């Protein structure tokens, strides 16, 4: 989102278009479902402006590079740090404490311009991907640009130096070098988007080509490039007019036809990227004022040059910075959803803050006085980045302190658990008092980490098979030398039962072997995951797991899954029959091998982040409760057990120990029931152990 030395009205107009569609997309996604492509337009614009500047005055020394980077510091850091610092403070005051740690973590990464890599890591983590967006998440695109600014001038310096050394034409060598980078990045983007789309959206290698396309346009059109005469190169007027309108049409088409389900970036990003490049190459505001042809004006150029459009382009950087924190934080004050009045407040407040930031922050730091001496911008940048890191770290320390106290409270609650603790509170005829917010365990901010030991961040082990290949992961819990062995098989809704099994293993001296995969259900059916490669890997994992469990010969297989993706050829809502058949095939294979199988009915799923809801409604946590008919899923596993018709295969439904006949509670017996939108907390799962024990003993004892 860089700004050029000499302002081109068409580029300012493009900036206005880009930030406008992003703003509308974030406040009202249904209006412009593909509005996220505005970021891609910004990438092209930045690539064009930066490359134009670098090739007009190619860097030849380390000082040249330092001067270039100092300009980026002055122009970009002050405003971004202002927004980051303000957002951290506002989040602490407005957002529930469940959001503090993730916001601080991402703000720290944003202050160091690496948050895109953190988001990529979280995106491929099934559980982390379900986290609510933080108010600093939009800094991912700024991180991509800053990383581009760090590498691109070095590449150009090397290419220009190579041209001088080899006496090859600089234009040829630079064009070839940049073209190779663009082609390599585009190829990688297409491949990575097809194989790992969650991470591909954020990482820098899949995005460099978009900025590079802008660089190639600069090579073709910008003035003073590598000694070219001081004049903008544009196509003949009729071609320029067609090119400009075609570019705007391409951007508009992607904005209205793309959506969150469009694999992106990949080849789909070519439409908005090439559309933006076409408008820049056409330079419509120049053709509209041309007097040499005498053929009139270009309406596109006139539109882009309108004063309101130019003003929005001028403040576009600050608009981008400010709008997203407002989108995320305002619902905490307005009741959880954005109404039309909220949307209007966001837009107006964003424009006001952007105008003030442009006037009092962006412009003053861009004045030449801040450029001398050369070390001054670097001291400024280091100070500003350190400020964000310190603020974020202070927030993380507070979260750590609260977690320590919450863990002590949880330990005390577990040690004194009575007849109304957790699932026991649902015992028919039992009357239990309501637990006040301060005595709920685990504390809402601690609940997202109250997961089973199958997760690496809790138990020190990684027991999950993940995309893209679903490699075999086998973990052992309980008594490794026990004579009674239990196999736990399924996806994350099987993993949530591990704490209950561990409690039983401790009591009965059992060994627990886990065969777990993220999202992939243990059913012999083609499951439609993010890519065909992921679906094929899931199929392979199911078949390999069936064979591995059969070879292990456990005394009992405990199997359960969440159906979160459709079966091939079906929608999610009508996939039940396909999963029923797939479950039956798996369980029949184990029964034929002489194994006993207990299939657990899938647990209720709220569909909302329960810890966040509880923290937000601390005065009345019942606001987070739901109806059994809404939360309890249709699970074909019980029908599949009947289809197998073997005395070795039985089903059990323990949902009546999670929901009563009339309500599913977010807090049951003083325990937060879920650590996210569908998975049981480890604490609550442990309270289900006695009921699971009954179902298991029936099969173990024949």
Go through the domains of the chain in sequence order and give each one's CATH number. 46-233+316-395 (no CATH), 417-700 (3.40.50.1110)
In the three-class reduction of DSSP (H, G, I as helix; E, B as strand; rest coil), residue 557 is classed as strand
Q: Which of 330-335's residues contact partners 24+ apart within 8 Å by CB, and which partners?
A: 332/94, 332/95, 332/96, 332/616, 333/94
CA dihedral 560, 565, 569, 574 (to 10 degrees): 70
CA distances from 282 to 54, 213, 254, 302, 370 (A): 21, 15, 20, 14, 35
672, containing H or E segment: strand 671-672
Q: What tokens were used for 150?
A: 């760090």
Give the total residue count for the chain: 702
Three-state secondary structure along 363-406?
HHHHCHHHHCCCHHHHHHHHHHHHHHHHHHHHHHHHHHHHHHHH
Phi-psi region of 440 (alpha: psi -120 to 50; beta: other; left: phi over 0): beta
- Rounded to whole angstroms, the Cα distance separating 426 from 669 reads 8
Return the ∠ at Cα 530 (arms to 525 and 611), rounded to 5°. Answer: 100
Spatial distance between the Cα atoms of 307 and 288, rounded to a whole number of angstroms: 15
Q: For residues 528 and 523, what is the distance between their CA atoms, to the nearest angstrom?
A: 13
How far is Cα 298 from Cα 422, in angstroms, rounded to an integer?
70
Give me the residue label for tokens 């006949």: 661
Distance separating alpha carbons of residues 587 and 594, to the nearest angstrom: 11
Which structure tokens are listed for 162? 């190579």
Q: How far is it, in rounded angstroms, from Cα 627 to Cα 595?
A: 37
For 117, the 3-state DSSP assignment is helix
Q: What is the DSSP letter of 8?
A: P
Does 442 sit behind a cis peptide bond, omega within 30 degrees of 0 on the bond before it? yes
pLDDT at 123: 81
- In degrees and rounded to multiples of 5, residue 241 shows phi and psi of -60, -45
Residues of the chain with pLDDT under 50: 2-5, 289-296
Tokens representing residue 516 in the block: 């777990």
Between the CA of residue 454 and those of 225, 282, 486, 492, what are the distances in Å?
57, 57, 15, 10
For 656, residues 6+ apart whose C-beta sits below 8 A from its C-beta are 426
Looking at 479-616, which runs of residues are DSSP E strands? 484-490, 510-517, 556-560, 597-600
Token couple for 220: 């073709």
Q: Do 229 and 56 touch, CB atoms closer than 8 A?
A: no
pLDDT at 3: 42
- Confidence (pLDDT) at 352: 98
Backbone angles phi, psi at 572, to 5 degrees: -60, -35
φ/ψ (deg, to 5) at 378: -70, -40
In whole angstroms, what is the distance from residue 34 CA to residue 38 CA?
A: 9
Query: Residue holding tokens 């060994």?
Result: 511
Whole-angstrom distance, CA of residue 285 vs CA of residue 234: 11
The bridge status of strand 510-517 relative to strand 597-600 is unpaired
| Alpha-carbon radius of gyration of the chain | 29
- Do the Cβ atoms of 116 and 208 come closer than 8 Å? no
**Which residue from 577, 581, 629 is spatially nearest to 607, judged by alpha carbons?**
629
Helix (H) / strand (E) containing 11: helix 9-27
Give the three-class secondary structure for 597. Answer: strand
Residue 655 neighbours by CB under 8 Å, 6+ apart: 601, 603, 604, 628, 632
- Location of structure tokens 């009674």: 484
């Amino acid at each position: 989102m860089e700004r050029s030395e000499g302002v081109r009205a068409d580029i300012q107009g493009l900036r206005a278009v880009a930030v406008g569609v992003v703003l509308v997309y974030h406040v009202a996604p249904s209006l412009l479902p593909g509005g996220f492509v505005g970021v891609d337009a910004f990438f092209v614009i930045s690539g064009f402006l930066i490359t134009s500047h670098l090739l007009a005055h190619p860097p030849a020394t380390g000082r040249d590079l330092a001067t270039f980077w100092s300009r980026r510091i002055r122009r970009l850091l002050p405003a971004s740090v202002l927004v980051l610092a303000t957002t951290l403070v506002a989040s602490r005051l407005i957002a529930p404490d469940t959001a503090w740690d993730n916001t601080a973590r991402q703000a720290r990464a944003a202050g160091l311009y690496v948050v895109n890599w953190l988001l990529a890591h979280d995106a491929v983590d099934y559980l982390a991907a379900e986290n609510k967006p933080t108010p600093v998440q939009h800094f991912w695109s700024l991180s991509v640009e800053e990383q581009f600014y760090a590498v691109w001038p070095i590449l150009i310096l090397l290419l220009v130096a190579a041209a001088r050394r080899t006496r090859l034409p600089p234009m040829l060598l630079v064009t070839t070098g940049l073209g190779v980078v663009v082609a390599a990045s585009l190829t990688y983007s297409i491949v990575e988007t097809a194989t790992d789309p969650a991470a591909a959206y954020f990482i820098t290698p899949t995005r460099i080509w978009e900025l590079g396309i802008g660089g190639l346009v600069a090579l073709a059109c910008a003035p003073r490039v590598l000694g070219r005469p001081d004049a903008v190169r544009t196509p003949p007027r009729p071609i320029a007019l067609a090119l400009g309108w075609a570019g705007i049409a391409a951007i508009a088409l992607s904005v209205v036809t793309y959506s969150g389900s469009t694999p992106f970036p990949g080849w789909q990003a070519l439409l908005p990227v090439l559309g933006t490049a076409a408008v820049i190459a056409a330079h419509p505001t120049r053709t509209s004022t041309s007097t040499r042809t005498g053929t009139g004006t270009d309406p596109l150029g006139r539109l882009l040059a309108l004063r309101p459009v130019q003003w929005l382009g001028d403040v576009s950087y600050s608009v981008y910075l400010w709008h997203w924190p407002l989108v995320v934080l305002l619902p905490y004050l307005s009741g959880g959803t954005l109404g039309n009045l909220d949307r209007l407040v966001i837009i107006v407040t964003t424009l006001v803050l952007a105008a003030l930031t442009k006037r009092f922050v962006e412009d003053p730091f861009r004045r030449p006085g801040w450029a001398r001496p050369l070390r001054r911008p670097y001291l400024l940048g280091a100070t500003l980045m350190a400020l964000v890191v310190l603020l974020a770290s202070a927030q993380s320390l507070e979260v750590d302190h609260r977690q320590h106290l919450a863990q002590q409270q949880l330990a005390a609650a577990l040690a004194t658990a009575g007849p109304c603790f957790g699932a026991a509170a649902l015992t028919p005829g039992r009357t239990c008092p309501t637990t006040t917010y301060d005595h709920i365990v685990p504390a809402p901010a601690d609940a997202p980490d109250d997961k089973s030991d199958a997760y690496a961040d809790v138990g020190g082990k990684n027991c999950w098979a993940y995309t893209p290949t679903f490699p075999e992961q086998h973990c052992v819990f309980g008594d490794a030398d026990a004579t009674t062995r239990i196999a736990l098989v399924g996806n994350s809704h099987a993993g949530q039962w591990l704490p209950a099994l561990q409690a039983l293993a401790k009591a009965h001296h059992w060994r627990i072997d886990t065969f777990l995969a993220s999202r992939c259900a243990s059913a012999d059916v083609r499951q439609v995951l993010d890519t065909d490669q992921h679906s094929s890997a899931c199929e392979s994992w199911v078949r390999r797991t069936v064979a591995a469990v059969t070879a292990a010969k456990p005394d009992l297989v405990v199997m359960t899954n969440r159906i979160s993706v459709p079966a091939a050829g079906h929608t999610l809502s009508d996939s039940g029959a396909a999963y029923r058949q797939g479950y039956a095939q798996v369980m029949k294979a184990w029964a034929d091998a002489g194994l006993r199988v207990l299939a657990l009915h899938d647990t209720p799923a709220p569909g909302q982040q329960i810890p966040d809801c509880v923290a937000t409604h601390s005065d009345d946590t019942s606001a987070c409760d739901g109806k059994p008919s809404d939360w309890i899923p249709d699970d074909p596993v019980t029908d599949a057990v009947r289809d197998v018709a073997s005395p070795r295969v039985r089903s059990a439904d323990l949902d009546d120990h999670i929901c009563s006949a009339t309500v599913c509670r977010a807090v049951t017996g003083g325990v937060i029931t879920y650590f996210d939108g569908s998975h049981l907390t480890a604490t609550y799962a442990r309270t289900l152990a006695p009921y699971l024990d009954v179902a298991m003993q029936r099969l173990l004892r024949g």
